[in-house]
Amino acid sequence: EAGATAVAAVTCAYAATALGKAWFAVPRPPGAMPPADVPAWLPALLTGWYEAQVLSDGFGFPSGHATGGAAAYLALALLYDRFWTDRARYLAAGAVAVAVAVSRVVIQVHYLVDVFAGLIVGGGVVVGALWLAGDPRVRRSAVSESAASDPASDPTAELNPEPAFLFAAVVSAGALAVAVAGGHTGEVVEAGIGIATGAGGAVGWRLVDGDEPAVPVRIAVPALAVTGGLWVGAYALAGTLPVTLVATTAAVVAVVALPALAERVQPALGGSRGA
């Protein structure tokens, strides 16, 4: 539940960024689009990904890196509370998120206000996503407060990230409508990817059926390799919107539904060995 909820929180952050960029349409700094010096050793398939990291086009407010970084690291700090102390996790998450945000200003692809807004939005999105997922630390009912105050209880045990995934898809659909109305082609693609990610996460969670058992390494490694290939394919085929959306949806379904896949594959592997 914790892993899928973290993915859902980042998906919501992506959707919020897509909507903000399409709505405000704030240009980036003048130096955001110089020619990219792509390393010669980098495979051609990864050229688009590399350029996306060191350069930026489209609108700049809020910063997607700052929003996503804040959401990802805060979600991990909140959901994986068995590691370190609360203070150490929050400090580490904040430090990394701020470092990511500052780097975007240093390389001149964002204004300071872009990354500041991104950090605020990212933090707020995590709280909202956890509320949608039913985190007792965020919801203010009598039952949830008693559960949150019980040190023996695991606040992530009963999380349901499906509402957060669906909310991200709805927000992305709103971003798509705004982008189409404004004629912002790049934001249309981003919003479409947000819809695919939210829908894929919801479908993946349905396949898991609300349970995330441990995934054996012999299954997790090849599955993640295939998932990574789908993501790379989505980047490489960014000019072909339908293919990009299908690849994105498949990748997110694979990430979220990986535990369910493991449960189905393990008996088959055991049966083949017995034969």
b/e string for 225-256 if b means 16 or more Cβ within 10 A? Answer: eebeebbbbbbbebeeeeebbbbbbbbbbbbb
Confidence of residue 253 (pLDDT cuts 50, 70, 90): confident
- Give percent of the chain above pLDDT 70: 67
- Torsion region of 134: left, alpha or beta (phi above 0 gives left; psi -120 to 50 gives alpha): left
Q: Which helix (H) or strand (E) holds 3?
A: helix 2-24
What's the pLDDT tens digit per position in 60-71?
999 999 999 999
What are the domain boundaries of the chain? 2-274
Rounded-to-integer distance, Cα 119 and Cα 64, Å: 9
To 5 degrees, how large is the angle CA 236–CA 238–CA 242? Answer: 120
How far the first Cα of the chain sits from its last, in Å, is 35
Confidence of residue 85 (pLDDT cuts 50, 70, 90): confident
b/e string for 147-164 if b means 16 or more Cβ within 10 A? Answer: bbeeeeeebbeebbbbbb
Distant-in-sequence, close-in-space partners of 120: CB < 8 Å, separation ≥ 6: none
What's the pLDDT tens digit per position in 161-196?
999 999 999 999 999 999 999 999 888 988 998 999
pLDDT value for 143: 45
What number is the average pLDDT over the span 218-227? 54
Of residues 227 and 73, the one with the higher pLDDT is 73
Distant-in-sequence, close-in-space partners of 259: CB < 8 Å, separation ≥ 6: 208, 211, 212, 213, 214, 215
